Amino acid sequence: MPINDKKTSTDQIINMTEKPIISNKQTIAQTKLFCIESMDITFSNGQQRQYERLTRSKSNGAVLIVPILDNETVFLIREYSAGVNRYELGFPKGKIDTGESLLNAANRELKEEVGYGARQLHHLTSLSIAPSYLEHMIDVVIAQDLYKEKLPGDEPEELDVIPWKLDNIEGLLATGECTEARSIAAFYMVRDYLSLGAH
């Protein structure tokens, strides 16, 4: 079916493209945290390319938690971000431990970083960061009906916990302290989720 056919749906157009074939996958560099992989890729039109990507290595995945204090307020944390060498405001996040469920990991990280647990946890979506070269995904979890409980974590210093109004995302971005795309996307998505009465 030609793409310019008016009856062609978006889903049909997307499904017309075959995924490339990956071959000769090799690890070309490895550290304690990161693994770089090269892949020979053949596209459906016969074109061949070599790609490199940063893989998840032995990671079980990661969670980003949006702690909802009330229908108007969420908790943010301020922590040091070595990649950009500054303190950033964003939502708490962390790795999923071996044998741990996604929601249990979210509740544990919430207790470690914010000092609250949640009686209600909802998996909202999964986000990629740079899908062209990064395999890593993160699961966004909404935490509601909070109660105070603090667990010891692995942070090198105490984190600042800051309540922020859901209707002031623009104010948050104007501070220049929140630049991480995952936290920004989660902020907008949770605001819309709550505005639809899905709580």
Q: How far apart are CA 27 and CA 24, in angstroms?
A: 10
Residues 83, 122: one domain?
yes
Which domain covers residue 124, as residue numbers? Answer: 62-195
pLDDT at 2: 39
Task: Establish if 2 belongs to a structural domain.
Answer: no
* pLDDT (0 to 100) of residue 9: 54
Are 40 and 21 a contacting pair, CB within 8 Å?
A: no
Q: Is residue 170 part of a domain?
A: yes
Does residue 66 sit in the same domain as residue 112? yes
What are the average pLDDT values for consecutive 10-residue runs of the chain, which has 199 residues? 45 64 90 89 92 83 96 95 95 94 97 97 94 90 97 91 95 95 95 79
How much is the pLDDT for 199? 54
Query: Distance from CA of residue 164 to its chain's centroid?
Result: 20
pLDDT at 71: 86
Looking at residue 186, its pLDDT comes to: 96
The number of distinct structural domains making up the chain is 2
Instruction: Please give the single-letter amino acid code of residue 63.
Output: V
Q: Are residues 73 and 161 in the same domain?
A: yes
Residue 92: give its domain's CATH number.
Answer: 3.90.79.10
Contacts of 51 (CB under 8 A, 6+ apart): 38, 39, 41, 133
pLDDT of residue 121: 98
Regarding whether 78 and 36 lie in a shared domain, the answer is: no
CB count, 10 Å around CB of 37?
17
Residue 3 lies in a domain: no
